[in-house]
Structure 1
Amino acid sequence: MTAAADATHLRAHPLARGGLADPRTALHVGTPPSPQAEVSTNPSAVPVISAFNDVAQGLPVHAYAKGDLLYQADAPATALFYLEAGLVALELNTPKPRIGALAGPGDVIGALTPGCGGYLESAVALSGEVAVRVLDERARAELPAAELATLIARAAGARLAALTQALEDGEHPVPARVARAFLRLGSRFGQGLADGTVRLTLPVTHDTLAAMVGAARETTTAVVADMRRLGLLEGTRGSYRMRPAELTEYALEATLSAT
């Protein structure tokens, strides 16, 4: 393991210790993930820069267990992390647990803001095993400058979009926030089914959802129960089936009723 990767194994995160669902994303180091073992991913998240793919495929795969830190907020930002398998929470540096976004296969996270000095968030493994390739300064030097800039710009743009959505959610009532969170997770990680529903298989619990939407766990649990009662959501932590059109309407009605 590189020094950059080794230095990030700091501590187990409390959200990951707090009963996250068993993952569906196990991967043996150095072995390509099977379709059954991989968190489903929207193909648009996978980089299409050929030089990056060539460099990344030549790097070793590092595995992180559930609760491990890939990197910590404010630590020197020295590496990019290309996620090959598993699920990672990007946690904001706030007094209470707050997740700005979830990252999965194909995402690039880490040192996305040259000149800032430190990582802007902490990256915590939510899956039982997260597989990444670490692009340190040496590996990044092998990329053409223009392609490296494009890679970082795309990844930083995705983070900016996620943070913008999180800010927008803050102006909505909790039921709308939870519905919007499920809709985004379904769009990014879900599998569309013939009947119009979306299957979402992720190691996400009510604690994780609460940290994503900035609400108490008890409030989040009550909202999820209401969604189940209305038939908008089926399943439990780790395996859900949702109705996107109805969830969208639910979020809109919740917002309108709060104004």
Structure 2
Amino acid sequence: MAYSAQVPRADPSRFAAGGYPLPGGAELMAEVPASRVPPATWDLATSRDYLKGEVVYSGGEASEFAFVIEAGLVALTLAAHPERERVVALAGPGDIIGELTPGTQRYLETATALSAGTRCRLLARAAHADTSGPGGVELQSALALAAGRQLARLTDAMADTEVAVPARIARTLVRLGERFGHRGEDGLTRITLPITHDTLAAMVGAARETTTSVVQALRDDGLLNGTRGHYLFEPEKLSAFAARAL
């Protein structure tokens, strides 16, 4: 794993508003908005690259850092079952994960890089624990916002456990489209992510075989095109299907 003091900045023209990749982009990479992390803190943060499948941090370990994702995709998982982990969220460029709230002694979830070239900025506890320093209040605000978004993702994941698997998969695809997709003039949302049916199954808490069967059924019904992280769909139709499949 390589460390570097300076990280080449991405060309903003390659990305859509909000820091998400434009259609056809070869990688998930984006500028982290300056308003999210104060420049003084950002310049002191260490940059670290992760290989595909590499653990960024593990649940239960002593928490030391907040991680700002600069590039790539990260899965956040909980050990909900001794033999199976549950993916509770995917985090991408601009997201802040890890130690988000004061007083947290251990990481609550495990973070794993899903794509090659995943890069994070590590903000040490000392850098964000003191609100009296330069940018301290702004950083605390950014961490609170990240914690709120993480809570919303966990709430969605919990709510989905009470509905049928087809509805869970449809809801999950719609949310992925909202976060990582691009909606064209034709009204269709396109997403390209390094996720497999195994990842999707772990996100909805279902067996891989069941997930594959449901995805195929959505294709057969004309609600979904593509597979293995390359998907095309109309969000309204997929949401309507999810409501009927409850």
Q: Which category of TM-score, normalised to the shorter sequence, fits these structures? A: 0.7 to 0.9
TM-score, length-normalised on structure 2? Answer: 0.85
Distance 1:237 1:106 in 2: 24
1:146 aligns with 2:126: no
Q: Look up the match of 1:77.
A: 63
More helix by share: 1
State the shift of 1:93 in Å: 2.7
The answer to whether the Cα contact below 8 Å between 2:86 and 2:202 also exists between their aligned partners in 1 is yes
- In the alignment, residue 8 of structure 2 is paired with which amino acid? T
Cα root mean square deviation, aligned: 2.3
For structure 2, the residue ranges without an aligned partner over 5 or more in a row are 15-24
Can you give the 5+ residue segments of structure 1 that lack an aligned partner in the other structure? 6-28
Identify the residue that residue 108 of structure 1 maps to in structure 2. Answer: 96
Report what 1:202 is aligned to.
193
- Aligned-pair distance for 1:132? 0.7
Change in CA separation of 1:55 and 1:38 when aligned onto 2, cut-off 3 Å: farther
Moved more, 191-200 or 92-101: 92-101
Aligned residue type for 1:32: R
Does the Cα contact within 8 Å between 1:86 and 1:104 map onto a contact in 2? yes
In 1, Cα distance between equivalents of 2:89 and 2:36 = 26
Distance 2:124 2:179 in 1: 27
Matched, 1:242 2:242: no
1:215 corresponds to which of 206, 212, 225: 206
Q: Structure 1 residues 143 and 75, CA, compared in 2 at 3 Å: closer, same or farther?
A: farther
How many residue pairs get aligned? The number is: 227
Counterpart position of 1:180? 171
Mapped pair 1:118 → 2:106: yes
1:62, CA displacement in angstroms?
1.2
> What is the CA deviation profile of residues 20-57 of structure 1, one whole-angstrom value per residue up to 9, with x for unaligned ones?
xxxxxxxxx8223453344278x9xx555365244224
Q: Aligned partners of 1:220, 1:143: CA distance in 2, in Å? A: 48
CA contact (8 A) 1:33 1:85 kept: no
Larger mean Cα displacement after TM superposition, 144-153 or 175-184: 144-153
Name the residue aligned to 2:20. Answer: none
Question: Where do 1:56-71 residues align within 5 Å?
Answer: 56-71=42-57
Residue 31 (structure 2) pairs with residue 31 (structure 1):
no
Q: Which structure features the higher share of strand residues?
A: 2
Partners of 1:87 and 1:51 lie apart in 2 by: 19
Distance of aligned partners of 1:49 and 1:135 in 2 relative to their CA distance in 1, 3 Å threshold: same
Q: Which has the higher contact order (CA 8 A, sep 6+)?
A: 1
Contact 1:66/1:128, CA 8 A, preserved across alignment: yes
The percentage of aligned residue pairs carrying the same residue is 47
Asked if the contact 2:37/2:142 (under 8 Å) is kept, the reply is: no
CA distance 1:105–1:113, change in 2 (3 Å)? same
Check conservation: 1:47, 1:151, Cα contact below 8 A: no
Give me the TM-score of the superposition, normalised by structure 1: 0.81
Per the alignment, residue 52 of structure 1 pairs with 38
In the alignment, residue 214 of structure 2 is paired with which amino acid?
V
Distance 1:40 1:198, change over 3 A: farther
One-letter code of the match for 1:97?
E
Trace 1:121-132 onto structure 2 (pairs within 5 A).
121-132=109-120
Measure the CA separation in 2 of the matches of 1:145 and 1:139. 8
Moved over 3 A (4+): 57-60, 141-145
| Residues 45-93 of structure 1: per-residue CA shift (max 9 Å, x gap) | x555365244224534311011111100010111000001100000013
Are residues 55 and 181 of structure 1, via their aligned partners in 2, closer, same or farther at CA, if it must alter by over 3 Å? Answer: same
Verify the 8 A CA contact 1:92 1:99 in the aligned structure 2: yes
1:52 and 1:37 map into 2 onto residues whose CA distance is 29
